[in-house]
Chains A and B, each alone.
Chain A
Amino acid sequence: MTLYQIAFLVAAFLTLIAALMTVSSPSMVHSALWLILTLGGIAVLFLLLNAGFLAVVQVAVYIDAIAIMIIIVVMLTQGAVRQQLRQVSRTWWGAAVAAILLFVSLLVIFVQSPQLASTAPTLVPSQETILKDLGQSLVDVNRYILPFEIASVLLLAALIGSIIVAWPIRRPGQEEGER
């Protein structure tokens, strides 16, 4: 057991525990906090795979922006803070059987593929120029320029859509500041 494998097992185990607590916590606010821990665990897993940029992006986008937005949305919901949700539905045994079947079949498929079955990690090659290559490929006409610009249009659509959904449209004749 190399040190690397121990670190990976600890990080993966903590992430799984946090994910389990996210879905089974009775209070929504606690679920949001466990989600933050899960996302942090995923960032550590990215680090172990030698993807430093992705780890920092995970923290900067998911934990700093999206987790805070989730907490704000949870607090905006009427009575969310005090709601204690029912933890298991009546047909939980069917869901458990389906989940175990899925897990076993995925395990069988992975063990048969030689790349996925090896215990040595497949690290991101640590080049000096990996960020420069990424930047160049994002604006290169033959590579990813179209997804790059479409991503900005997608973000614009998300922004406009959320504003329309969340902000009541001002009807004509209504005064400023009245909602």
Chain B
Amino acid sequence: MLEPWIFIALLLGAGMLLPGVAIAANWLLGPKKPNAIKESTYECGIETVGETYVQLKGSYYIYALIFVVFDIEAVFLFPWAVAYNELQLYMVLEGVLFIAILAAGLFYAWRKGVLEWV
């Protein structure tokens, strides 16, 4: 039963191993001359000004939140879609009701002006 998942685990491992090998080859073949100026942080060619910390906008949180809500909605809808062929029409309409409630949430966010990129 776990057989296909073992292949997935092996492929993910191979997907991490092969770039690792390539980067190791780069580490072996490249020059190694560390230098304080080379390793300083890049700020368009001038010295860094201020701390390495910037204040981020609140809209990033809103997009992440809306993605969480729609992700959970999709997780509920996937079994509904898998069982689609055995459902009757009123059951399909119940799923449409589920989608409509969340679409109302998206519409609310839109009207509140939350979806603008400030």
Is A152's beta carbon under 8 Å from chain B?
Answer: yes
Known: A134-B83, A145-B94, A152-B102. A61 touches B65 (CB 8 A): no
- Per-residue CB proximity of A62-83 to B under 8 Å, as 1/0? 0011101100110110110110
Is A111's beta carbon under 8 Å from chain B?
Answer: no
Chain B residue numbers with a CB within 8 Å of A26 are none
User: Closest 10 CB pairs between A and B?
Assistant: A135-B83, A135-B79, A69-B64, A139-B91, A134-B79, A65-B68, A159-B105, A152-B101, A65-B71, A156-B105
Known: A72-B61, A126-B1, A135-B82. A149 touches B53 (CB 8 A): no
22 cross-chain CB contacts under 8 A: A61-B71, A61-B72, A68-B64, A69-B64, A69-B67, A72-B64, A76-B61, A131-B82, A132-B83, A136-B91, A138-B80, A140-B91, A148-B76, A148-B94, A149-B97, A149-B101, A156-B101, A159-B65, A163-B65, A166-B58, A167-B62, A176-B113
> Which residue of chain B has its CB nearest to the CB of A4?
B2
Which secondary structure characterizes the binding site on chain A? helix
B87 and A163: CB pair below 8 A?
no
> Which residue of chain A has its CB nearest to the CB of B79?
A135
Known: A135-B81, A170-B113. A163 touches B62 (CB 8 A): yes
**In the complex, A60→B113 CA distance in Å?**
28
Which secondary structure characterizes the binding site on chain B? helix
Known: A72-B61, A132-B82. A163 touches B98 (CB 8 A): no
Q: Interface extent on A, as a size class?
A: 35 or more
**In the complex, A136→B98 CA distance in Å?**
15
Measured CB to CB, the closest approach of chain B to A121, in angstroms, equals 12
- Per-residue CB proximity of A155-172 to B under 8 Å, as 1/0? 110111011001100100
Chain B residue numbers with a CB within 8 Å of A148 are 76, 94, 98
B58 and A177: CB pair below 8 A?
no
**In the complex, A163→B104 CA distance in Å?**
14
